[in-house]
């Protein structure tokens, strides 16, 4: 059995035709009559010929490939965004390369370089928690590769974004706890270099202000919002001189870490401390008590971000004005806050 790949020259030799004629026939050139095209295509199929799509794409300076960078594929929200991206890209004739930064800035930089090497036409990106320097993103722009941020974006001009209304989500989560009778509400916040966590934090503060509750700095616990962070910060929370009766966590993962720790210490949820998370991870319905959370439309966000990126790619020289699409979120009330 022959291992070598079949080439245009092999087809030409078997049909006693010039390689240039075979090439034109395979590319449906009007310079070749239909009868010859049919003969060439039949022989190519018979011999198992496969076109080199990469070489063809590079000649056209377009690969019909999109790069996607997410912090963690394992997070339900990001996997649902990817579903929306992949579905929309596939319908438009694009393939998708999916990468995860694992919240590491250096890994994110390497991924960007790899995607540039793959000649992707555009990149959809949710930045890592460590990202504070944007030079690697400026290189993308210099290479003419279009970039659209989703969920987590950089506060830099001339880039398009598809985002959740994080301020509104943070406000609604906190107001929900206030309306349930909570007076001393703690907040597990994410890194404040990221706009989404800054906005959720500001929503928390605005809800306190609206309802005449004081903002107390020691009630705010910043972290990377992993489950272990939820446990550690809950330990600090219980040591506060003022007893906490409500907790708004900027994601579900840290909220669940908190629930596990607090329950192990005999704290009753929601009777002693009512809790609201953010993201609506699947585990939030399984944990006992089920977690009240802010739901994010992941699939819809993926579709909207991809459609926006494809518009940028289609516009010659990328001359489409940058725009920001804000998507709505909604609070799902479950047992963790039903006082």
Helix ranges (H only) for 92-194 are: 105-117, 135-142, 166-179
Going by pLDDT thresholds of 50, 70 and 90, the confidence category of residue 4 is low
Looking at residue 53, its pLDDT comes to 53
Looking at residue 52, its pLDDT comes to 61
Domain 166-295+331-337 has CATH 3.40.50.2300: yes
Q: What distance in Å separates the CA atoms of residue 106 and residue 291, rounded to the nearest whole number? A: 34
Beta-strand ranges (E) seen in the chain are 65-70, 95-100, 122-125, 146-150, 160-164, 185-189, 220-222, 246-249, 274-279, 292-295, 324-327, 330-332
Looking at residue 1, its pLDDT comes to 34
Instruction: Kindly report the pTM of this predicted structure.
Output: 0.79
Lowest-confidence segment of 26-30, 52-56, 159-163, 251-255 by average pLDDT: 52-56
**Exposure b/e, 32-44, CB count within 10 A at least 16 = b:** beeeebebbeebb
Q: What distance in Å separates the CA atoms of residue 200 and residue 162, rounded to the nearest whole number? A: 16
Q: What is the pLDDT of residues 315-334, one digit of tens each?
A: 865 567 889 999 999 999 99
The segment(s) of the chain belonging to CATH 3.40.50.2300 are: 65-164+298-327, 166-295+331-337
Q: What distance in Å separates the CA atoms of residue 175 and residue 151, rounded to the nearest whole number? A: 23
Helix axes 298-314, 76-91, angle to 10 degrees: 40
Looking at residue 321, its pLDDT comes to 83
Backbone angles phi, psi at 322, to 5 degrees: -70, 150
Q: Order across the sheet with 95-100: list the strands.
A: 95-100, 65-70, 122-125, 146-150, 160-164, 324-327
Q: Are 180 and 339 in contact (CB under 8 A)?
A: yes
Fold of the 65-164+298-327 domain: Rossmann fold (3.40.50)
Q: What distance in Å separates the CA atoms of residue 63 and residue 81, rounded to the nearest whole number? A: 22
Going by pLDDT thresholds of 50, 70 and 90, the confidence category of residue 141 is confident
123: three-class secondary structure by DSSP: strand
């Amino acid at each position: 059995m022959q291992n070598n790949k079949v080439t245009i020259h092999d087809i030409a030799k078997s049909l006693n035709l010039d390689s240039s004629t075979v090439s034109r026939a395979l590319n449906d050139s009007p310079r070749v009559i239909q009868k010859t095209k049919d003969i060439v295509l039949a022989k190519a199929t018979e011999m198992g010929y496969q076109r080199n799509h990469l070489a063809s794409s590079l000649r056209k300076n377009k690969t019909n490939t999109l790069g996607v960078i997410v912090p963690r594929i394992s997070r339900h929200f990001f996997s649902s965004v990817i579903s929306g991206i992949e579905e929309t890209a596939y319908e438009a004739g694009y393939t998708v390369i999916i990468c995860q930064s694992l919240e590491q800035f250096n890994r994110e930089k390497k991924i960007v370089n790899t995607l540039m090497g793959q000649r992707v036409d555009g990149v959809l990106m949710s930045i890592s928690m460590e990202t504070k320097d944007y030079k690697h993103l400026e290189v993308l722009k210099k290479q003419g590769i279009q970039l659209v941020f989703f969920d987590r974006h950089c506060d830099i001009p001339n880039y398009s974004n598809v985002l959740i209304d994080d301020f509104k989500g943070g406000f609604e989560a906190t107001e929900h706890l206030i309306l349930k009778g909570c007076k001393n509400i703690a907040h597990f916040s994410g890194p404040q270099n990221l706009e989404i966590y800054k906005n959720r934090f500001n929503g928390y503060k605005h809800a306190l202000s609206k309802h005449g509750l004081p903002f107390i700095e020691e009630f705010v616990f910043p972290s990377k919002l992993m489950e272990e962070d939820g446990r550690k910060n809950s330990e600090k929370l219980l040591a506060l001189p003022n007893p906490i009766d409500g907790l708004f966590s900027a994601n579900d993962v840290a909220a669940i870490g908190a629930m596990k720790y607090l329950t192990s210490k005999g704290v009753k949820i929601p009777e002693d401390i009512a809790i609201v998370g953010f993201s609506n991870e699947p585990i939030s319905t399984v944990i006992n008590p089920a977690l009240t959370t802010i739901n994010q439309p992941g699939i819809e966000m993926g579709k909207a971000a991809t459609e926006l990126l494809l518009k940028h790619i289609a516009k010659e020289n990328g001359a489409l004005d940058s725009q920001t699409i804000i998507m709505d979120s909604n609070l799902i009330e479950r047992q963790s806050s039903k006082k």
